Amino acid sequence: MSSFRTTFSRGAQGAVAGLLSGYTALAVAELTASLVRPQAGPVNVVGGAAIDRTPPALKDYAIRTFGENDKLVLQLGILATLGFLAAVLGVLSLRHRRTGAAGVLLFGMVGAAAALTRPDTRGPADALPSLAGVLAGAAVLYFLAGVLAGAAVLYFLAGKVTKQPVLDTGTGDGGSLWSRRGFLATASVTAVAATTVGALGRTLIGMRGQGAVASRAAVKLPAPASPALPLPAGVQLKTEGISPFTTSNKDFYRVDTALVVPKVDTDSWRLRIHGKGVTRPHTYTFQELLTRPLIERDITLTCVSNEVGGPYVGHARWLGVRLADLLRECGVKPPSKGGPADQLVARSVDGMTLGSPVDDVMDGRDAMLAVGMNGVPLPFEHGFPVRMLVPGLYGYVSACKWIEDIELTTFDAYDPYWVKRNWARKAPIKTQARIDTPKPFARPTGETVMVAGVAWAQHRGITRVEIRIDDGPWQDTDLAPQANTDTWRQWSYPWNPTPGGHHLTVRATDGTGQAQTEQRTRTIPDGASGWHSVFVTTG
């Protein structure tokens, strides 16, 4: 007769055995991934598969709610789910070998399947981390719970699984094979061993990245043949609380699907340009790019997932090769000059695809393959060694990071990653104005309150920003000088408020004379529109 206490304690042992099995599996997978390919680790591939399958609305919600921590939240979510399932499996395996074995098998299958179907998979070896991990996890379950997982799998496959309870010694006291102390000791040794293996894997992955880190440190950015025009005096207003005109690299927003930031070595990096109408396909090395005449430009980048008033916009001074020159060298003609390809698809080392209109890339704007950002080689997070930029287009249709391939094709023939997920094929950046200060629900004091912010309409420029207090008339704000039409522009308004609550609303007019629409839309499919508004209390 088994008392509640022994039942509970056996259950707890089963759960711990399951957790340790899962932990060991991840550690061994990490070590294997360090030898095969860091990106092939099970959390990364399952996380990547989850990101790709997340409905756009949920992805948008995640970006809104967790911001740039969305990846961390996803990974913690995967680990929590895995931990929970492993514990359940551990308890189940005490009595149901078939379920335990099937569960162990299933984990390995899910990981391996995810690894083999990632867009950046490098072949069957990518399944190894998941498979090695699951074998180690099964072995641990065997030792700790007494389940002969390997044999159970075979039995399971042969349909010969016995229903006999595993930890029941048949002595009738419901006790386990292990004394509690013996179990704890073995569990601790397993935990330490798994941690060591995992740490070794981490270290090896770190060392693999060191080659890329060293190659980045060795990059000497050449002086631009065509430097950026100096920023006009006054582009940066002195108003406290306004965003800096130039965003520092460390503060620059980051939006991508990479759970492991690709670490690419400049020596092994190549960019291939090929496809429809490419009469002279060519593969460029990093050195080849650096020896070409470089352009340096001020360009403001914006994410299509940026809500009205949102943070996913940043400004940098970029250094790179004019993309249209490379394309012309390869024989590419834009459709407006009779070329057969209207879409340029950029592909990254992590399998991301982004499509831009060839006409936009070749119409004379400063579309570039950037190698430098604010005076230094691109940070790894922002696409080292080379990324693409097309002024005026949202990032998801232009700004490919870690680029390795450019294919000329047509919009009819191919839908890139985000388009497959219901985002628009073409997405020029919409005109937006944002109030940076005062913040929503602030309680500014003083006779004069400085209202200030930024406005952007890349490649069209900003010619006017107006403000409305409550339901009053639209009034012009003071515009800072514009650096160029591809950058955002700061504005300010000295406001003498009456005490009480007030709604402040802003709207911008772009260089074509088009005023920003009041119509509020969601970010999907082609970017949010509408006026930014904040409520503040004064006096």
| Nearer CB in complex with ligand MTE: 405/466 | 405
Decide whether 255 or 455 has the Cβ nearer to ligand MTE.
255
Choose the contact partner of 400 out of ligand MTE, Mo ion, none; CB within 5 to 8 A by kind.
ligand MTE
Query: Closest distance between Mo ion and the C-beta of residue 306, in Å?
Result: 8
- Which listed range, 204-212, 295-303, 409-417, 478-486, lies at the site for Mo ion (CB under 5 A)? 295-303
Number of residues that bind Mo ion (CB under 5 A): 5
Q: Would you say how long the chain is, in residues? A: 539
> 462-469 and 376-377: which strand pairing?
unpaired
Among 107, 142, 178, 396, binds Mo ion (CB under 5 A): 396
Q: Which residue is nearest to ligand MTE (CB)?
A: 395
3-state SS string over 402-418?
A: CEEEEEEECCCCCCCHH
Q: Within a 10 A sphere around the Cβ of 441, how many other Cβ atoms?
A: 10
CB of 71 to Mo ion, least distance (A): 14
CA 234 to chain centre: 34
Question: What are the φ and ψ backbone dihedral angles of 44, each rounded to 5 degrees?
Answer: -65, -45
Q: Report the side by side order of strands in the sheet with 462-469.
A: 475-476, 462-469, 500-510, 532-538
Nearest to 519 by CA among 432, 441, 437: 432
CB atoms within 10 A of CB 428: 20
How many other C-beta atoms are found inside a 10 Å radius of the C-beta of residue 446? 10
Q: How far apart are CA 448 and CA 33, in angstroms?
A: 60
Could you list the residues that contact ligand MTE (CB under 6 A)? 252-258, 301, 303, 348, 350, 352, 382, 395-396, 399-402
Shorter beta-carbon distance to ligand MTE: residue 212 or 303: 303
Rounded distance between C-alpha atoms, residue 120 and residue 39, angstroms: 9
The CB-of-536 to ligand MTE minimum distance in angstroms stands at 30
User: What span, in angstroms and rounded, lies between the C-alpha atoms of 455 and 29?
Assistant: 47
The residue among 396 and 495 lying less far from Mo ion, judged by its C-beta, is: 396
Of Mo ion, ligand MTE, none, which one does residue 386 interact with (CB within 5 to 8 Å by kind)? none
- Does position 389 bind Mo ion by CB under 5 A? no
Q: Which is nearer to ligand MTE, 141 or 397 (CB)?
A: 397
Instruction: Provide, rounded to whole angstroms, the least separation between the CB of residue 370 and ligand MTE.
Output: 10
Q: Which is nearer to ligand MTE, 430 or 502 (CB)?
A: 430
Hey, which residues between 230 and 289 contact Mo ion (CB under 5 A)? 255
Q: How far is CA 59 from CA 71, 104, 317, 417, in A?
A: 11, 30, 30, 14
Residue 388 touches Mo ion, criterion: CB under 5 A = no
Q: Which does 254 bind (CB under 5 to 8 A by kind): ligand MTE, Mo ion, none?
A: ligand MTE
* Segment interacting with Mo ion (CB under 5 A) among 31-39, 173-181, 396-404, 449-457: 396-404
**What does the block give as tokens for 349?**
């080392």
The entry of ligand MTE, Mo ion, none that residue 139 binds, CB within 5 to 8 Å by partner kind: none
* Rg, C-alpha atoms of the chain: 29
Q: Name residue 505's amino acid.
A: T
Tokens matching residue 224? 């631009």
Question: From the CB of 313, what's the least distance to ligand MTE, in Å?
Answer: 9
Q: Which of residues 366 and 526 has its CB atom nearest to Mo ion in the complex?
A: 526
At 465, list the tokens.
């920003």
Compare residues 401 and 507 and give the one whose CB is closer to ligand MTE: 401
- Note whether 395 binds Mo ion by CB under 5 A: yes
- Point out which residues bind Mo ion (CB under 5 A): 255, 303-304, 395-396
